Structure 1
Amino acid sequence: MSVTLMWEAKAAPGRGGELLDWARDQALSPAPLRRETFTAPGERVLVITWWDAPYDDQGIPELAEPAADLIARPVHRWRFEPTES
């Protein structure tokens, strides 16, 4: 089985670069099968990780919540599982 975790945060005004650097520096242990980082307008940062684990596995490490002054709102997190094509 596999599960994909999405982590999305909106930076405080003018701090998008710092939030991106922060997200890139966050190590996950164990490491995911795959990890990608994206940015979007509005100083948003998205990190997607793929894991060889069941959907409801509570032991999968997730990125933390950044310092409150670095973000404009709480982090959003979602879990997805693959579907057949």
Structure 2
Amino acid sequence: MTVALMWEARATEGRGAELLAWARARELPGAPVRRETFRAPQDRVLVVTWWEASYDDPGIPELPDPPGDLVTRPVHRWRFESLGDSP
């Protein structure tokens, strides 16, 4: 089964590039099947990692919280189970 972990944070004003660099520099124990990083208006950064694991596997590594002065609120995290591709 493939599980996708989503990690999303919003940087303090004007620090989006710094948050993006921080997120990209974070290494995870183990290698995900895939890792992709996104940015959006309002200095938001999103990282999605895909893992071959069960949905409730507590051993899937997640990105940590960034330094508190770098973000405007707690990090949002979601976990999804892949249902496969659609035509």
**TM-score after normalising by structure 1:** 0.97
Distance 1:62 1:53 in 2: 13
Aligned length: 85
Distance 2:79 2:53 in 1: 12
Give the C-alpha shift of residue 77 in structure 1: 0.1
Distance 1:70 1:45 in 2: 12
Distance 1:62 1:48 in 2: 10
Match for residue 17 of structure 1?
17
Q: What is the identity, as a one-letter code, of the residue corresponding to 2:30?
A: P
Backbone CA RMSD of aligned residues:
0.8
User: Which runs of 4 or more aligned residues in structure 1 lie more than 4 Å from their structure 2 counterparts after TM superposition?
Assistant: none
Q: Secondary structure at the match of 2:19?
A: helix
Structure 1 runs not aligned, ≥5 long: none
Structure 2 runs not aligned, ≥5 long: none
